[in-house]
Structure 1
Amino acid sequence: MITVEKSDPLSPDSQYLISKLSAELAAITGDSGKSNFTIDSLDGERSLWVLARNTTGDAIGCGAIRPLTGNIAELKRMFSDRSSQGIGNALLTCLEASAKSMGYSELWLETRLVNHRAIQFYKTNGYVRIENYGPYVGREEAVCFSKVLGKCVSG
């Protein structure tokens, strides 16, 4: 079983996973991804940092959301160490639900065209490609995605 919980991005577990993510991104894309993310960007009240943990309490994944606009949050630093099936889905489910509960109606994200695993993961989970936004405009190596967060329907 995988649990996902709010955490401190400066905790040792968080820092360990961020360093693993940065190394993996550098190996896949040639860029650690650090240039468009700082821990300080999570200081706002509508930001969130989470860790995924396995049954023994080991940190096995991380992710964040931060505001882009009043109703759009950006998904950042999603990472799974792939030690268990379903880490990415558990993280994404938690972050999407949290974003919705914080009043966001949409999530945006950026990854690199060469990161085929990430692109497939997001497409499988309902994300659609959008025009590159913000710091990714004009960057051919970047690809951006969006997902409209579902509305609650009562029967």
Structure 2
Amino acid sequence: MSAKETKMKESASKKETESHASQEKAVSQQLTAKESRKEVSHSQKYPKNTVLILQVPIKSLDCKQKLEREKQENLIGQLKAAESHNKIQNMRLRYQTMRAEEINHLISSQPTARKAIRLEALLPPHQEYINLKDTLDKLERRRVEEIMSDETGLTINRLL
């Protein structure tokens, strides 16, 4: 029995040393991986997008190519602005139609006609835009401002 016990102890100690050696190996690999990560700079991990896009150096371009590039960049900027304007316009129209549909649904679901008319008067489905244009010309505007600034009333108080 003692021979068996010694063999078992030896095999157990061999297994322990093998597992310990494999753990040490894994730890050393992790340390080297961390060290290699530290050596890589931030710019190498995350390259700038401009480096990838602009591969042609700007110095080698002549005047015609520079003008052509500026025209293209200007055109691209205008296209992006028009696209964003269209997106905003579409969102605004979608919001207005959804709002009108919801208000019409609320109006139609009122129990009596009187309540429906009252709600429609308070919540119009479509907003009416009031055009507040200035109806006075420059001369009339100056005359009105002169009359309003006159505190004593000398410009409008006349004796006949």
Same fold (TM over 0.5): no
Based on CA coordinates, which of the two structures has the bigger radius of gyration? 2
The alignment's TM-score, normalised by the length of structure 2, stands at 0.16
Which has the larger helix fraction? 2
The alignment's TM-score, normalised by the length of structure 1, stands at 0.17
Which has the larger strand fraction? 1
